[in-house]
A = this chain, B = another copy of it.
Amino acid sequence: MSPLTGIAALQERIQRLEDHQEILGVLAAYGPAVDSGSADAVAELWTGDGSYTYSLGDGEATLTGPEDFRGMVHGPSHQKIIAEGSSHFLGIPDIRVSGDTAVATGYSMLVRHRDGTDPGYYVDRLSANRWELARTGSGWKVTARTNSLLDGRAASRQMLAKAGSAAL
């Protein structure tokens, strides 16, 4: 092995490690951004045409692009949640990188505070999460995130079952 060959091989391994670490950082940045009402910081986690699909009733809704993300954060429903106290709490995700794209699969909980006669904290939403990401000129960005409530619907189990596959 020549030193140069060795260096090229190490560079590749380091790049893979950096990819995983950066992607973990993108996911970890979501909660603080959204729970503090930092609309621009939320929007910047996605690519310009990135999307976020989440469960709404028995179906789902989709936000696309920075205006949608900022509108969600500034909207009355989200403002009420964060004013009362909230955490978009993420566990450790399963991250699979394939070249310039990646998929992270995991869970999120929306944990909220309530005042009143029975004050305390409770899990308001529990979702399976699929984050699709791409390497861009300004780092890894989310191209499509899908959240599916873990309330018994089959789509959530199907999403989780895909975690280990290379499907991108």
Judge if A65 is at the interface, Cβ distance under 8 Å: no
Chain B CB within 8 A of A142 CB:
no
Asked if A156 is at the interface (CB within 8 A of a chain B CB), the reply is yes
- Distance from A133 Cβ to chain B, minimum over Cβ atoms (Å): 15
Is the Cβ of A32 less than 8 Å from the Cβ of B90? Answer: no
B124 & A123 in contact (Cβ 8 Å cutoff): no
Question: Which residue of chain B has its CB nearest to the CB of A3?
Answer: B3
Smallest CB separation, A38 vs chain B (Å): 5
Residues of A within 8 A of B (CB): 3-4, 6-7, 10-11, 13-14, 17-18, 20-21, 24-25, 27-29, 31-33, 35-38, 41, 82-87, 89-95, 105-107, 109, 111, 113, 115, 120-126, 128, 149-153, 156-161, 163-164
